[in-house]
């Protein structure tokens, strides 16, 4: 496909191949964008922002709603594209398209709800008595939307939807491995009637074009989803801009002794292995009370071994490949390292190219990399604890804080967990991997800052002006 800059689909001689992670075959190519392309995109976006600032809320609503409807009509086509470029199963990809339709619909609705508020200046002592105060929300202007590979459509919608709903122009920088869904979304937005300069989609390697985009002073807002280290780099280089950072995690799930271990095992399979564990809120660290430790592992092993792995396009496959062979090799190395230093391989631990077998490692200690770093792969690390205090200390023993979960029927334990665990999302009786697109979603600590979910993100895509009538 071509990239979209300045109201034109443009190509370049230098290409980046888009590869099917399962078969290794080339799906397509995209142009290798340069700093000059970023400069052209920002120049067009500045003009696009001026156009968008004049587009009334109702028209922004109709454009985004139409885009949601078009996405829904093309579910199968989009799902196939996601599977081909990302590797997840067709069922997972279809679910992602369904969520993207929701995200765009919610964004459409939010365009009609953006407003300021009155400010009671007469409540200030002395000088406020006859003043009228209110706030006005205005778009930031040019928004850079930088997205990761693992949800190549819905996570782009979480940026583009609220960005346009708020009246900005948006420049998409999709992940280098998975640019096709974002380019197709650009087509859909244009077909839905978006002013051409309001959207740009620049493809190419993150380092070169990402830095050019993030350092450009005409970009007023950066919304980034990706790894902790790239997020931190952007925070250093961006200068004085608004930023939203949706970063990584090593999510804990605490299993108290009163939990139903069969149910928890099922939740571990869906929360730990969907999209081959490449989900920011994947269940990574399972912390299990000593009393049910053995029973939990006995319940988990056959369920993990029953997962059908393979080509995401094939019927009945439940887990696809990892995005790159180097990532599968990294997961393999971290699992081996854990086992070599005293952990126990319960099942899995095999690799073939990008396919890494669903893996369970028990007796994991917190300092092992499989526990303390973000694994982002199809393995769970199981650790034993004795008391709720120990479990909460283990859950908090991380630089991250994106999602955490607790299984129990005991309200006191649940309240303690809610009060004491430092995490942006807290799940009771579910795995950490729960998200619906309307909820405020974002991490604490090194998992980032700011919230997504269109009703929340739209505020982050605006500036607040204060008006006082004297």
- Which one, 327 or 363, has the nearer CB to ligand NAD? 327
- Cα-based distances in Å from 240 to 216, 217, 218: 11, 8, 11
Dihedral sign of CA atoms 204, 205, 208, 212 in order: positive
CB 187 within 8 A of CB 130: no
Q: What are the DSSP E strand ranges found in 279-431?
A: 285-289, 344-347, 351-352, 355-356, 359-362, 379-385, 400-401, 403-407, 425-428
The helix (H) or strand (E) run that includes residue 261 is helix 261-273
- Classify residue 141 as left (phi > 0), alpha (psi -120 to 50) or beta: left
- Which one, 88 or 384, has the nearer CB to ligand NAD? 88
Least Cβ distance, residue 403 to ligand NAD (angstroms):
9
Least Cβ distance, residue 374 to ligand NAD (angstroms):
6
**b (16+ CB within 10 A) / e for 8-34:** eebebeeebebbbbbeeeebbbbbbbb
DSSP 349: -
- From 92, 246, 452, 460, the catalytic residue: 246
- Which one, 100 or 247, has the nearer CB to ligand NAD? 247
Least Cβ distance, residue 235 to ligand NAD (angstroms):
11
Residue 201 engages ligand NAD in binding (rule: CB under 6 A): no
**Cα(419)–Cα(412) distance, integer angstroms:** 11
Residue 247 engages ligand NAD in binding (rule: CB under 6 A): yes
Least Cβ distance, residue 155 to ligand NAD (angstroms):
6
- Which one, 18 or 362, has the nearer CB to ligand NAD? 18
Q: How many residues bind ligand NAD (CB under 6 A)?
A: 30
Look up tokens 């299993």; give the residue.
255
* Site mask for ligand NAD (CB under 6 A), range 345-384, x = bound: -----------------------------x-x--------
- What would the two tokens of residue 416 be? 């303690």
- What would the two tokens of residue 308 be? 């059908």
Which residues are CB-contacts of 31 (< 8 A; sequence separation ≥ 6)?
Answer: 2, 3, 10, 11, 12, 14, 15, 16, 37, 203, 204
- What would the two tokens of residue 143 be? 């928004």
Residue 246 engages ligand NAD in binding (rule: CB under 6 A): yes
Among 31, 133, 161, 226, binds ligand NAD (CB under 6 A): 226
DSSP 240: S
The helix (H) or strand (E) run that includes residue 10 is strand 8-10
List the one residue out of 268, 308, 263, 306 whose CA is nearest residue 284.
268
- Which one, 32 or 66, has the nearer CB to ligand NAD? 32
**Which of positions 166-195 make contact with ligand NAD (CB under 6 A)?**
173, 175-176
* Site mask for ligand NAD (CB under 6 A), range 385-414, x = bound: -----------------x------------
Residue 148 engages ligand NAD in binding (rule: CB under 6 A): yes
Residue 32 engages ligand NAD in binding (rule: CB under 6 A): no
- What would the two tokens of residue 193 be? 């009637």
- Cα-based distances in Å from 400 to 45, 140, 294, 388, 423: 34, 29, 28, 20, 8
- Which one, 265 or 279, has the nearer CB to ligand NAD? 279
- Which one, 227 or 396, has the nearer CB to ligand NAD? 227
Among 133, 248, 320, 377, binds ligand NAD (CB under 6 A): 248
Residue 280 engages ligand NAD in binding (rule: CB under 6 A): yes
235 is catalytic: no
- Which one, 201 or 368, has the nearer CB to ligand NAD? 201
- Which one, 253 or 402, has the nearer CB to ligand NAD? 402
Residue 233 engages ligand NAD in binding (rule: CB under 6 A): yes
Least Cβ distance, residue 470 to ligand NAD (angstroms):
44
Look up tokens 């067009």; give the residue.
44
280 is catalytic: yes
The helix (H) or strand (E) run that includes residue 450 is none
* Site mask for ligand NAD (CB under 6 A), range 296-335, x = bound: ----------------------------------------
Among 1, 214, 355, 370, binds ligand NAD (CB under 6 A): 214
* Site mask for ligand NAD (CB under 6 A), range 410-449, x = bound: ---------------------------------x----x-
Q: Residues interacting with ligand NAD, by CB under 6 A?
A: 146-150, 155, 173, 175-176, 206-207, 210-211, 214, 225-227, 230, 233-234, 246-249, 280, 374, 376, 402, 443, 448
Which residues does the annotation mark as catalytic? 246, 280
């Amino acid at each position: 496909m071509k990239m979209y800059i300045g109201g034109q689909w443009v190509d370049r001689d230098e290409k980046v191949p888009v590869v099917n992670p399962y078969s290794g075959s080339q799906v397509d190519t995209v142009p290798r964008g340069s700093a000059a392309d970023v400069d052209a995109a920002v120049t067009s976006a500045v003009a696009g922002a001026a156009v968008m600032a004049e587009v009334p809320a109702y028209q922004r609503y109709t454009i985004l709603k139409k885009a949601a409807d078009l996405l829904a009509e093309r579910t199968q086509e989009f799902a196939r594209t996601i599977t081909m470029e990302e590797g997840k199963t067709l069922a997972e990809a279809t679910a992602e398209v369904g969520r993207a339709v929701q995200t765009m619909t919610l964004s459409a609705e939010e365009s009609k709800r953006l407003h300021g508020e009155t400010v009671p200046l007469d409540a200030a002592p002395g000088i406020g008595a006859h003043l009228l105060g209110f706030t006005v929300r205005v778009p930031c202007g040019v928004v850079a939307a930088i997205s990761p590979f693992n949800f190549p459509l819905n996570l782009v919608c979480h940026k583009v939807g609220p960005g346009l709903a708020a009246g900005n122009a948006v420049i998409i920088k999709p992940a280098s491995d998975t640019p096709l869904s974002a380019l197709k979304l650009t087509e859909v937005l244009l077909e839905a009637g978006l002013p051409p300069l309001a959207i740009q989609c620049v493809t190419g390697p993150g380092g070169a074009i990402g830095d050019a985009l993030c350092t450009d002073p005409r970009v007023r807002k950066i919304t980034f989803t990706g790894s902790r280290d790239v997020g931190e780099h952007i925070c250093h280089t961006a200068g004085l801009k608004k930023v939203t950072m949706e970063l990584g995690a090593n999510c804990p799930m605490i299993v108290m002794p009163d939990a139903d271990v069969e149910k928890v095992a099922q939740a571990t399979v869906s929360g730990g292995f969907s999209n081959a564990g490449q989900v920011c809120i994947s269940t990574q660290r399972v912390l299990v009370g000593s009393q049910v430790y053995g029973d939990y592992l006995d319940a988990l092993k056959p369920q993990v071994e029953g997962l059908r792995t393979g080509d995401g396009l094939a019927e009945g496959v439940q887990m696809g490949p990892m995005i790159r062979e180097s990532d599968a090799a990294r997961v393999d190395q971290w699992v081996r390292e854990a086992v070599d230093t005293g952990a126990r391989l319960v099942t899995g631990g095999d690799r073939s190219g990008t396919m890494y077998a669903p893996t369970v490692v028990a007796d994991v200690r917190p300092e092992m990399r499989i526990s303390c770093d973000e694994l982002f792969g199809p393995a769970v690390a199981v650790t034993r604890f004795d008391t709720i205090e120990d479990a909460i200390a283990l859950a908090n023993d991380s630089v991250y804080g994106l999602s955490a979960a607790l299984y129990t029927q005991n309200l006191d334990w649940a309240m303690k967990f809610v009060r004491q665990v430092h995490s942006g999302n807290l799940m009771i009786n579910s795995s950490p991997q729960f998200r619906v697109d309307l909820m405020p979603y974002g991490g604490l600590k090194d998992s980032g800052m700011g919230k997504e979910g269109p009703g929340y993100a739209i505020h982050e895509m605006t500036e607040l002006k204060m008006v006082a009538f004297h």
